[in-house]
Structure 1
Amino acid sequence: METAQAYRTYKPLLFSLAYRMLGSVMDAEDIVHEAFLLLGAASDKTKINNIKAYLCKIVTNRCIDKLRSAAKQREVYIGTWLPEPIVEDDINDPSISLEKKETISTAFLLLLQQLTEVERAVFLLREVFQYDYDDIASIVGRSSTNCRQIFHRAKKGMMHRPDSVKPNDDHSNIYLEKFAQAVLDGNMDLVHAMLKKDAVFYSDGGGKVMAALRPIFSADHIARFLLGVITKLPANATYQFKNVNGSPGMIVMIDGRIDYVVSFEVNDGKIAKIYMVSNPDKLNHLNQ
């Protein structure tokens, strides 16, 4: 298989794996690009028995190395760390399965942060991409028995997934639009009523822009914070509802640039969690 054909065939798979491993669009793209450069530079491609496995092994191990080297940076990260958002136009894209949408949700990606680098790789390869243990073993350099043990240990850490709204639930889209309008209108009573009492708001400014450095707890505090943010936005700010990490969300644009990306988690018919990314470094890929 020629490199160009391999790129068309396997790039979506490799990016999906790298993004889930890293929570970074730009780093994922760089690693996938490097994998294809290595494939192109291979002196004798006929010796590569399985190009898909070859590429997957490069991407997985580069991601593991990246996570290890970035560990110290994460320790001194200013404020809450959130993954770089993936924004799509169609929140009801039928080509994306509900299961796959769940595994790029902000909540799911944050749960993955609890796992070690190797646990994360084994868990994703098995749970999301349905690799068998022998293939996983060859990718991560462990025995298949060890990979099976790693997977079960990792799965225990991922058992408490949020029971959030289905990503393509039309009712939730309308509900979130109503919530956003209530915030824009300064209707604090309605904003408060649409949030769960124990709701949590997470904001990632990375120390580059103004953002809440710690999570904000309770509907009352979140409502006050959001209304305070809205009053500080310039008059030319515009809002669009988009698919953010597989779920309904919204973007806020100022002077034609995306300054905020917001996603929501809905439980029991009310908003349980709000994730807002405003770190400009994490929005660069959306503003290119």
Structure 2
Amino acid sequence: MDQPEVPEGLDDVGTTGEPASGPADSDAAPGARGADGRGRGEGVADAATAAFVAHRNLLFTVAYEMLGSAADAEDVLQETWLRWVDVDLDQVRDQRAYLVRITTRQSLNRLRSLSRRKESYVGPWLPEPLLTTPDVALDVELAESLSMALMLVLETLSPTERAVFVLREVFDLGYDEIAAAVDKNPATVRQIAHRARKHVDARRPREAVSADATRAALDSFQRAVTTGDLQGLLDVLAPEVVLMSDGGGVKQAAVRPVKGSDKVARFILGGAAKWGVEITVEPTVVNGNPALLLHVDGELDGVMGIRFEDDRISGLYYVRNPEKLTRILEETPLTAR
């Protein structure tokens, strides 16, 4: 795997003044070398490993929030580890902050390359859904930031705007810390944060929907889909509802968003009628938010993320691409702390 270029300024981030070493060789044994190139003792290697493991879920969450892909987030963690094992820990004031900064830099590198990859993606691109642990749903701010709807809004930000927004709004980092991570001065970071927040706030749902209303809407949607009840489906969909489907060129999907309750309802039910298949729907929680697993003739077909507004469904995000369905059978721990 080609290693991304390390952005300038990383070497002295979070240290007490003595620069840390550069990136590790991709085939170096973890913990094998110190910052001066000499062999490291087992105690130092153990300390590096312990720190990385202690913050791993946080680092993965940072990378996933920025990339929308678990596979790419895992690659970023590997790259972070390769750099971390070469750092002189005696020179690091705050190990958590240092690791977050490395992860942010590597995520920015990958985010820029992903933007080129998405340009050639077949059909709409949706984030990779993750089956999450119950505590994620309890953290309201984290769950909102992980929702399919908001992650699609984050896609419209520049890489630096996305990094600043995520680090500030989701992980509550100070402007000085964020400035070091994105190689900007704090005043500039404040301006970027304000601009990104204004952009995101304009596209957030207008009001929060209660858990009871969410559950009722999900039940109605599930019942209408499984029974083929067109009117029942129209009753639960907002008039301006939008459906996006991601097949990745592997599974059939709408090449453009489907807009409007009538078109969305007929799109959902028309496929089952046309092909003579049986659709079953199972509630689940992905990215800390209510979602549905759809099965066709007993086989898993995809995951549908849902956006609610005014007690109705205003957004449906249907991921069918098999490469994006590998994280829905086993929980992925995520945290903002």
Q: TM-score, normalised by structure 2?
A: 0.77
* Residue 266 of structure 2, aligned match among 204, 208, 224: 224
Amino acid at match of 2:187: T
**1:103 alignment partner in structure 2:** 145
C-alpha deviation, 1:280, in angstroms: 1.3
* Alpha carbons of structure 1 residues 122 and 199: separation in structure 2 relative to 1, 3 Å: same
CA distance in structure 2 between the partners assigned to 1:176 and 1:150 by the alignment: 37
SS at match of 1:162: coil
CA distance in structure 1 between the partners assigned to 2:286 and 2:276 by the alignment: 21
**2:313 alignment partner in structure 1:** 271
Task: Please tell me whether the aligned partners of residues 238 and 252 of structure 1 are also in contact (alpha carbons under 8 angstroms).
Answer: yes
C-alpha deviation, 1:141, in angstroms: 1.2
CA distance in structure 2 between the partners assigned to 1:34 and 1:106 by the alignment: 26
CA distance in structure 2 between the partners assigned to 1:52 and 1:94 by the alignment: 20
Q: Which runs of 5+ in 2 are unaligned?
A: 1-45, 331-337
* Alpha carbons of structure 1 residues 285 and 94: separation in structure 2 relative to 1, 3 Å: closer
**2:117 alignment partner in structure 1:** 73
Query: More displaced, 203-212 or 27-36?
Result: 27-36
CA distance in structure 2 between the partners assigned to 1:34 and 1:209 by the alignment: 31
**2:64 alignment partner in structure 1:** 19
**1:58 alignment partner in structure 2:** 102
CA distance in structure 1 between the partners assigned to 2:305 and 2:149 by the alignment: 10
**1:87 alignment partner in structure 2:** 131
Amino acid at match of 2:100: C
CA distance in structure 2 between the partners assigned to 1:79 and 1:278 by the alignment: 12
TM alignment of 1:173-252, pairs within 5 A: 173-231=215-273, 232=275, 234-235=277-278, 238-252=280-294
C-alpha deviation, 1:8, in angstroms: 3.4
State the percentage of identical aligned residues.
37
C-alpha deviation, 1:220, in angstroms: 0.8
SS at match of 1:276: strand
Question: Highest CA radius of gyration, 1 or 2?
Answer: 2
SS at match of 1:109: helix
Task: Please tell me whether the aligned partners of residues 262 and 275 of structure 1 are also in contact (alpha carbons under 8 angstroms).
Answer: yes
Q: How many residues align?
A: 283
* Residue 10 of structure 1, aligned match among 47, 50, 55: 55
Q: Which runs of 5+ in 1 are unaligned?
A: none
**2:82 alignment partner in structure 1:** 37
Amino acid at match of 1:76: S
Calculate the aligned-residue CA RMSD, in Å: 2.3
Task: Please tell me whether the aligned partners of residues 282 and 294 of structure 2 are also in contact (alpha carbons under 8 angstroms).
Answer: yes
CA distance in structure 1 between the partners assigned to 2:136 and 2:303 by the alignment: 23
SS at match of 2:146: coil
* Alpha carbons of structure 1 residues 219 and 123: separation in structure 2 relative to 1, 3 Å: same
* Residue 163 of structure 1, aligned match among 198, 203, 206: 206
* Alpha carbons of structure 1 residues 32 and 253: separation in structure 2 relative to 1, 3 Å: farther
C-alpha deviation, 1:213, in angstroms: 0.8
Task: Please tell me whether the aligned partners of residues 252 and 260 of structure 1 are also in contact (alpha carbons under 8 angstroms).
Answer: yes
C-alpha deviation, 1:238, in angstroms: 5.0
CA distance in structure 1 between the partners assigned to 2:179 and 2:93 by the alignment: 16
CA distance in structure 2 between the partners assigned to 1:255 and 1:28 by the alignment: 33
Amino acid at match of 2:54: T
**Deviations for 1:53-97, whole angstroms, at most 9, x for unmatched residues?**
22111111111111111222212221111111122365xx47731
CA distance in structure 2 between the partners assigned to 1:258 and 1:41 by the alignment: 44
CA distance in structure 1 between the partners assigned to 2:137 and 2:221 by the alignment: 28
CA distance in structure 2 between the partners assigned to 1:286 and 1:2 by the alignment: 33
Task: Please tell me whether the aligned partners of residues 257 and 287 of structure 1 are also in contact (alpha carbons under 8 angstroms).
Answer: no
* Alpha carbons of structure 1 residues 107 and 269: separation in structure 2 relative to 1, 3 Å: same
Task: Please tell me whether the aligned partners of residues 112 and 158 of structure 1 are also in contact (alpha carbons under 8 angstroms).
Answer: yes
Q: TM-score, normalised by structure 1?
A: 0.90
